[in-house]
Structure 1
Amino acid sequence: MKMIKLTKKQARQFLLIKHGLIGDYKFVGKEGILNYTKQVGCIQYDPIDACGKNADLVLLSKVKGYKKKMLDELLYQDRKLIDYFDKNLAIFCDNDWIYLKRKKKTYDFLTRHNKNVEMACDLVKKTIKENGPMSASDFKNKEQITWTWGNKSSLSRACLEHLYYIGELGIHHKKGTIKYYDLIENCISIKILNKPDPNKTEIDYLKWNVLRRISAVGMLWNKASDAYLCIENLKANKRNEVYQELLKDKKIIQFEVEGCKESLYCLSTDLYLIKEVIKNPKLKKRCEFIAPLDNMMWDRNLIRELFEFDYKWEIYTPQSQRKYGYYVLPILYGDIFVGRIEAGYTKKNKLLEVKNIWFESSIKPSKKLESEIAKHIKKLEKFNQEEL
């Protein structure tokens, strides 16, 4: 097969069509949430809520009619989604639990270093079995211990987290950021829990995971990338082997993008998208605010290469060293990033404060662009006013 070559504009359009960020909305309502999650594998969860939590902001930009309660229902009522570890803390479809079983062994090893926790876990499980879902504050034992990363924690919280890490407890529901834990069999169907791990070998697991991350971003290159975070044992030699295996299995397609030194790869099932963008279609512009940990942004070097947009989430950067702000969202318009916005929502007066908007030096804001941004500020404010 002749090597496919795309322009940067075509590569950008490929990503945006796949993520449903250009033209009409590709994903709609609760079914759209499930379809998007299946496509990307997982959506990163982060509890910080400056103007919406990361998972909400991801879905707000892609799912028509998205409401906070939709995600909450899929997680804690319908039980079609699970929050657990994947790319850090994440949300993924219930059927993927069987593939991620082996992660439990990693966390068991990492957290089984405190004898007090080990000794108290059986009692914690027994208490939950008798009383139903519980949070750390529901336990009377307030004994303090040194827990992960050297932080102080109550013994009950440490036990709950340990049992969650190793897959014996699940999150039954949340009230704000407070987690209520229950036995895993009450959070995931027994049918799924009893299924064996489909990946028989480590290389099978790595192939499944890398393929999933390629789909999560849309396209990736075979080099070090934040998109591969939390895939255990994926060193360069293993990654090379995985890519060769996936090519051999015809699971992925290799292609080139003008100006990029490295080849890029996408799913073979996305060949139709490549054919579509090669025709240079006229795509309807849409304006969206992109979440800081959005799947498409997982490889920021790729974003810089294709979009000429240099984005860093500065939340952990000391204030004096920030170039922009604490919680800044990229502004997408059509197939380019036109700028970034920092906004903060205050629950007391139910208002969204726009702290700043920075346009890229190459952008001269038109009335149309300013109108679209204003419309999306209102959309973001309305979303934040929703109650669960």
Structure 2
Amino acid sequence: MTRDLTAAALRAAARQTLTRQPSVQAALNHMGFVQADPIRSPARAQDLTLMQRVPGYHAGDLERLYPTLDAEEDMIPNYGFVPRAVQALLHPREVASTRIEREHPELLAEVRNLLYERGELHPKDVIAALGARTASNYWGGQSSATTRALDALHYRGEARIVRRAGGVRVYGAAPHLNALRATPLTEDERLRGAVHLLTALYGPLPEASLGYLVSLSGYGFPHLRVELRTHLRRAVREELHGSKVDGVRYVWTPDYDPHAAPIPRGVRMVSPFDPLVWDRRRFTHLHGWTYRFEAYTPPAKRTMGYYALPVFHAEKAVGWANLKVDGGELQSEIGLAPGVRETATLRRGIDTELGRYRSFLGQNT
């Protein structure tokens, strides 16, 4: 189906991802995937994402509630949190021999046996039981071999994250994934579910961006990479809806109507990993300027700041904010995009949003 769309309508449609949900579980169910990142500036990405969707959410609520939620930590296009219905798309996951297995061929079995014996393992428990060992990591350095072995078991679906202790993952057995190995979803159900999830979460988005997302999702479906790309081509041809805007073809799921999006109100400051801004191609095309994530850029070369949060006013991205807590107080530096001026309405919206952040960080009495 092809219907004419404007960039303004697409901007409003994209911001529907910020629709408020009544609880953390409802937000996870609605989104299907929340990307995680360890940087706290002023809080972790998963907390920044959920505070925009769950009224009254406070930094750390996901970690605190996790043991009671229908939620798992897993990998789709990136590492994050999913409901178990989404995790069922990812497993059984057939994984080739990993670097840790090649360097320490006996270690995976030792850690597996210890996990089944203890039922729950903190990485320091494994080191205490098996001794400290090192292994090469993907950045050319060395890291804990036992922690890498735990990660490998988790990726294979032989372990799950049961909770976090001070931000550190604690591992346990994954009987629900053992059951899934016995009666998995069909390949078609898994592939169709994955393409639909990515399109619904990040869409409407350029067709090229969806292709990139599907390519990244090879990490979640390592033995179905080729099949996933094939299914995407079929979905674009037969299932997804789409339209061209200024020469760029956008796609979305059949149950989504980008024409019906109401014009959003107010100011929002979102995580660099939020679905609203994750696709930089869409961001630049719809908003006319380029947002940069510069946490890993040398300080002297940064133009926006260490962890700049994109700032939206109504449906438009109007700038960025760097937030940090100093002396128990939230400090902010606001940058405006080219051509944007700070009106009284924008300033009031920024102040209101900063007040929400103070509450989110537990600074309001």
Normalised-by-shorter TM-score class: 0.7 to 0.9
- Report if the CA contact (8 A) 1:290-1:331 is conserved: yes
TM-score (norm 2): 0.87
The one-letter amino acid paired with 1:253 is H
CA distance in 1, matches of 2:273, 2:59: 18
Q: 2:203 aligned with 1:215, yes or no?
A: no
Give the equivalent residue in structure 2 for 1:151: 141
Q: Can you list the C-alpha shifts for 1:34-55, whole angstroms capped at 9, x where unaligned?
A: 3432xxx311111111201111
Give the equivalent residue in structure 1 for 2:221: none
- Report if the CA contact (8 A) 1:81-1:91 is conserved: yes
Q: 2:259 aligned with 1:303, yes or no?
A: no
Give the equivalent residue in structure 2 for 1:173: 163
1:371 is displaced (CA, Å) by 1.9
Aligned equivalent of 2:53, options 55, 58, 62: 62
Identity of aligned residues (%): 19
Secondary structure of the 1:159 match is: helix
TM-score (norm 1): 0.82
Aligned equivalent of 2:75, options 58, 75, 85: 85
Distance 1:171 1:13, change over 3 A: same
The one-letter amino acid paired with 2:256 is D
Query: Where do 1:292-371 residues align within 5 Å?
Result: 292-346=272-326, 349-354=327-332, 356-371=333-348
- Report if the CA contact (8 A) 2:318-2:336 is conserved: yes
- Higher mean displacement: 306-315 or 4-13: 306-315
Secondary structure of the 2:185 match is: coil
1:319 is displaced (CA, Å) by 1.4
Secondary structure of the 1:375 match is: helix
Aligned length: 354
What are the ranges of 5 or more consecutive residues in structure 2 without an aligned counterpart? 219-223
CA distance in 2, matches of 1:313, 1:245: 33
Distance 1:385 1:64, change over 3 A: closer
Q: Can you list the C-alpha shifts for 1:272-304, whole angstroms capped at 9, x where unaligned?
A: x42x24xxx5x3512111110111222211111
1:134 is displaced (CA, Å) by 1.8
Give the equivalent residue in structure 2 for 1:379: 356
Secondary structure of the 1:87 match is: coil
CA distance in 1, matches of 2:136, 2:158: 19
Distance 1:193 1:34, change over 3 A: farther
Aligned equivalent of 2:115, options 128, 142, 145: 128
- Report if the CA contact (8 A) 1:34-1:93 is conserved: yes
The one-letter amino acid paired with 2:116 is K
What are the ranges of 5 or more consecutive residues in structure 1 without an aligned counterpart? none
CA distance in 2, matches of 1:246, 1:121: 39
The one-letter amino acid paired with 2:49 is V
CA distance in 2, matches of 1:317, 1:192: 42
1:221 is displaced (CA, Å) by 2.6
- Report if the CA contact (8 A) 2:35-2:273 is conserved: yes
Secondary structure of the 1:160 match is: helix
1:132 is displaced (CA, Å) by 3.4
